[in-house]
Structure 1
């Protein structure tokens, strides 16, 4: 812990010295979060049905998208896109993850919020981007009706799995479930 404070003090001094000399460095210093994220991304070991992209270019590693195409379960052959926003204090704070794809799912609400314990109370700095992606992938292979964000979908999954399967297929085909319309995601 003491070593960390010394490093921070040294960085602050260097920054002040640079400013006193009359110019900021043309190179942008990376935050600890950016450095850790760079390491996480370089060590990704994704399932073949998942991919990562950087819509803002490789210079913006802190905002990216992950596409999941489940190859089994209720959501087989669907295509689901998630946005990740990573703060400079990562890994001490979990990334903000949201589904861009409107999906009929007990653990993802219609606004794209995701209910995954490692993004909330179970987050620990030893976890990484790979862990989150596998957690999201697992939500599609094993949706959890016991910890829902979409309570209607959870109740149908719990009480009538065949109807849940039909609702998922209808939603993924671009149909309506109840009064909610979905965009085709095959």
Structure 2
């Protein structure tokens, strides 16, 4: 019986090649669901999606967030997404590739967002994760930190926290950590500020 299926599959493949279709790669359930999620994305105007490996590799993509309010206004933050073939039964792996002074993102780029851990459910999707990341920039949370120093400053001295975030975005040291400047965003924001 198994040999019969293999013969039929081989015949179908040969027929497709003869018709010029070529071999069609089967997609996993995770790829099918992710394709649906991406086609239905409703991103905030401050977020963009990119596919560094091309549109053929939907399982690895990037999201850029440019907050237009709050402490992180003027910054540009890039997140890499790696999606498992068993998605949505497992959340995407998300890492912040931009070094940021943030209570919920450590200096290695690990992200503390409950829906990426214990609160993940298969009914959630990539859109939900992106809005969760955006929310981290509009309302950072000092109660569930990865960067305990940043969380303590936010809790005890919000003005100092704001100065530290500005220093990190402009480029410089905050404590013992150096943050490279975010030139692109600063240039864009100064040009929009002069136009206003």
Aligned residues of 1:175 and 1:182 also touching (Cα < 8 A): yes
Q: Within the alignment, does 1:72 sit opposite 2:69 as a pair?
A: yes
C-alpha distance in structure 2 between counterparts of 1:116 and 1:101, whole Å: 17
Q: Answer yes or no: is 1:17 the counterpart of 2:5.
A: yes
* Cα 1:16/1:75, change in 2 over 3 Å: farther
- Using structure 2 for the length normalisation, give the TM-score: 0.84
Structure with greater proportional helix content: 2
Candidates 16, 35, 38, aligned match of 1:41: 38
2:119 is equivalent to residue 131 of structure 1: no
Compute the displacement of 1:77 (Å). 1.4
SS across alignment from 1:81: strand
Going from structure 1 to structure 2, the CA distance change for 1:27 and 1:141 (only over 3 Å counts) comes to same
1:21, CA displacement in angstroms?
A: 5.6
Deviation at 1:27, TM superposition (A): 1.1
| Inter-CA distance 14–132: structure 2 relative to 1 (3 Å threshold) | farther
Distance in 1, matches of 2:156 and 2:7, equals 64
Report which of the two structures shows the higher radius of gyration computed on alpha carbons: 2
Tell me the SS of whatever aligns to 1:169.
helix
Matches for 1:112-131 after TM superposition, within 5 Å: 112-131=109-128
SS in 1 for 2:58: coil
4+ residue segments displaced more than 4 Å: 13-16, 19-25
**Counterpart for residue 63 of structure 1:** 60
Partners of 1:158 and 1:132 lie apart in 2 by: 25
Describe how 1:30-179 pairs up with structure 2 within 5 A. 30-179=27-176
Q: 1:142 to 1:27 in 2, by over 3 A?
A: same
Is the contact between residue 146 and residue 154 of structure 1 (CA under 8 Å) also seen in structure 2? yes
Structure 2 residues without counterparts, runs of 5 or longer: 14-22, 186-196
The CA distance in 2 between the partners of 1:64 and 1:17, in whole Å, is 36
Alignment size in residue pairs: 174
In structure 2, do the counterparts of structure 1 residues 117 and 104 end up closer, same or farther at CA, with 3 Å as the change threshold? same
Q: Deviations over 1:104-151 (max 9, x none)?
A: 000000000000000000000000000000000000000000000000
